[in-house]
């Protein structure tokens, strides 16, 4: 793992963003639990996604499909046949790897690029020939564990948007073009894992199946690449860390006519953050064929039925989390404040965007051994709690508490000091500039709302010199 990835992994564990699943039992590879801060961060990303792609669009509706579906779904979708990776086994130590990753000399989990065709575990050079390994997790519906009751945990959310296409189109009286959106849990039995949360076996996908008239698909494809890219920029990712990657024809998924990935410059190299695929009419045709239901769309203007084409923008929520953490992470050697004595300490600043930072406000009494200050700070905390995600912190010096907030991206810190006891005002400290303003407690809710909406901090109160 790179130095930066190690630091981010350590911060995530130390501050309650992300932990290894089942850690008390030694952990499980490629499964991660999101802690108090990580789960808020994920929710904020999902909410921004819903706001941008469902709430403010006129033509996109949301659904919440099941993770288990009829087994024939996976026959029709082509996943049973094609959702595979080539697997090789080292004949010496019996470790298993993805043949394509091995050929590229890339072993993410090991954190070191080994020479091509050499086992990253034991250095062995003798491997079995590649076998296709299906990435879907098998399970059984009901108490009988036989072939007839076998199904799979979904590896993508897309399929329930296809199986519900006709239902939703008719029920909601939708006309082309329109989209069905979903955020949901997906499962893949990945062979190569590692690089923290980059490639995991359980994760949330946010995707849209956007149904269009055949012939208009290429225009809509371009539109959705732009929309997807803008979403990541709106979340605060730096433009220079994003790029497009066009999949070569021979590497396209079985359903795709064209795929563009949006890649992020992760510390371990440019890698897929999200994708946009032109799935053509593949899925609706296949589900019509396998279910014997007519899933064609009736075009009232043209008075004819046809299978719409589908443009699919997709992204994994955890990949967004990882990209945001990498993008936002800054280290300041010797400390941020000029007034405090320069130290050898390295201060961490997590410059997460206001919209997605998990904790917006920290409420702090200047010192914890003055009961009147503690009481006042707790009152302010209770006052703000129904409106913003806040934390109360009284442990250690005020400087140390500011730094603890900076490390997790707290947008503003409110301090109750001795003047608060006289005039019911508090100081508000801005995370990025470290400037402070003094404001009245009664106006706090309004002022914080303005700050979170992006108004200029220094205009909202009296500057503290």
Please report whether residue 60 would count as binding ligand GAP according to CB under 6 A: no
* Burial group, residue 452, by CB count within 10 angstroms (0-12, 13-18, 19+): middle
| Residue nearest to ligand GAP according to CB distances in the complex | 316
CB of 159 to ligand GAP, least distance (A): 8
* Helical ranges in 106-261 per DSSP H: 158-163, 165-171, 217-234
Exactly one of 15, 79, 188, 287 binds ligand GAP (CB under 6 A); that residue is 188
Please report whether residue 136 would count as binding ligand GAP according to CB under 6 A: no
Q: Taking the mean position of all CA atoms in its chain, how far away is CA 364?
A: 31
Exactly one of 73, 158, 176, 324 binds ligand GAP (CB under 6 A); that residue is 158
Exactly one of 77, 169, 200, 415 binds ligand GAP (CB under 6 A); that residue is 200
CB of 366 to ligand GAP, least distance (A): 44
Please report whether residue 207 would count as binding ligand GAP according to CB under 6 A: yes
Cis peptide, bond prior to residue 430, ω within 30 of zero: no
State both tokens at 152. Answer: 């799979």
Residues in region 302-331 near ligand GAP by CB under 6 A: 312, 314-316, 318-319
Please report whether residue 156 would count as binding ligand GAP according to CB under 6 A: yes
Report CA Rg, the chain: 26
Instruction: Kindly tell me the sign of the dihedral angle through the C-alpha atoms of 290, 294, 297, 303.
Output: positive
| Residues in Cβ contact with 42 at an 8 Å cutoff, skipping those fewer than 6 apart | 34, 204, 317, 318, 321
Contacts with ligand GAP by CB under 6 A: the residue count is: 19
- Helix axes of 3-14 and 317-328: crossing angle, nearest 10 degrees: 110
Q: Tell me the C-alpha to C-alpha distance, in Å, between residue 174 and each of 85, 214, 297.
A: 38, 17, 10
Q: Report the length, in residues, of the chain.
A: 465
CB of 141 to ligand GAP, least distance (A): 23
Residues in region 15-54 near ligand GAP by CB under 6 A: none
| DSSP tag of 4 | H
Exactly one of 42, 98, 199, 431 binds ligand GAP (CB under 6 A); that residue is 199
Residue among 232 and 402 whose Cβ is closer to ligand GAP: 232
Q: CB of 255 within 8 A of CB of 279?
A: yes
CB of 170 to ligand GAP, least distance (A): 24
Residues in region 250-279 near ligand GAP by CB under 6 A: 272-275
Residue among 320 and 362 whose Cβ is closer to ligand GAP: 320
Q: Tell me the C-alpha to C-alpha distance, in Å, between residue 397 and each of 142, 284, 364, 413.
A: 58, 62, 10, 14
Exactly one of 69, 98, 190, 327 binds ligand GAP (CB under 6 A); that residue is 190
What share of residues in the chain are helix, strand, coil (percent, to 5)?
Answer: 35, 30, 35
Residue among 199 and 355 whose Cβ is closer to ligand GAP: 199
Please report whether residue 79 would count as binding ligand GAP according to CB under 6 A: no
CB of 83 to ligand GAP, least distance (A): 9
The site for ligand GAP (CB under 6 A) is made up of: 156, 158, 188, 190, 199-200, 203, 205, 207, 272-275, 312, 314-316, 318-319
């Amino acid at each position: 793992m790179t130095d930066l990835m190690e630091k981010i992994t350590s911060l995530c564990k130390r501050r309650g963003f992300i932990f290894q699943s089942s850690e008390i039992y030694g952990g499980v590879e490629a499964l991660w639990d999101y802690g108090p801060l990580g789960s808020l961060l994920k929710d904020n990303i999902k909410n921004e996604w819903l706001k941008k792609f469902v709430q403010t669009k006129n033509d996109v509706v949301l659904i919440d499909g099941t993770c288990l579906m009829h087994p024939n779904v996976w026959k029709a979708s082509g996943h049973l046949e094609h959702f595979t990776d080539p697997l090789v086994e080292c004949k010496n130590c019996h470790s298993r790897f993805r043949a394509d990753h091995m050929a590229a000399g890339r072993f993410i989990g090991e954190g070191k690029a080994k020479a091509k065709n050499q086992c990253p575990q034991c250095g062995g050079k003798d491997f079995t020939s590649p076998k296709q390994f299906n990435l879907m997790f098998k399970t059984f519906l009901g108490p009988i564990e036989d072939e007839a009751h076998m199904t799979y945990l979904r590896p993508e959310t897309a399929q329930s948007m296809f199986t519900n296409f006709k239902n939703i189109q008719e029920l909601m009286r939708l006309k082309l073009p329109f989209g069905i959106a979903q955020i949901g849990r997906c499962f893949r039995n990945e062979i190569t894992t590692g690089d923290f949360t980059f490639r995991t076996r359980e994760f949330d996908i946010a995707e849209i199946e956007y149904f269009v008239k055949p012939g208009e698909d290429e225009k809509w494809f371009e539109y959705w690449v732009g929309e997807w890219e803008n979403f990541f920029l709106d979340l605060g990712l730096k433009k220079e860390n994003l790029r497009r990657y066009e999949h070569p024809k021979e590497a396209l998924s079985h359903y795709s006519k064209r795929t563009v990935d949006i890649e992020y410059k992760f510390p371990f190299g440019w890698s897929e953050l999200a994708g946009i695929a032109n799935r053509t009419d593949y899925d609706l045709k296949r589900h019509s064929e396998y279910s014997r239901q007519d899933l064609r769309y009736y075009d009232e203007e043209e008075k004819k039925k046809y299978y719409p084409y589908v443009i699919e923008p997709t992204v994994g929520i955890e990949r967004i989390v990882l990209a945001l953490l990498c993008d936002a992470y800054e280290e300041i050697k010797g400390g941020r404040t000029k007034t405090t004595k320069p130290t050898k300490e390295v201060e961490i600043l997590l410059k997460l965007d206001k919209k997605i930072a998990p904790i917006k406000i920290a409420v702090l009494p200047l010192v914890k051994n003055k009961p009147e200050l503690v009481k006042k700070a707790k009152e302010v905390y209770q006052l703000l709690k129904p409106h913003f995600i806040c934390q109360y912190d009284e442990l250690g010096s005020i400087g140390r508490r500011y730094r603890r907030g900076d490390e997790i991206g707290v947008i503003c810190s409110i301090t109750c000091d001795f003047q608060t006891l006289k005039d019911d005002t508090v100081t508000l400290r801005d995370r990025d500039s470290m400037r402070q303003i003094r404001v009245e407690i009664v106006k706090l809710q309004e002022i914080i709302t303005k700050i979170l909406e992006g108004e200029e901090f220094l205009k909202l109160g009296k500057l503290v010199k």
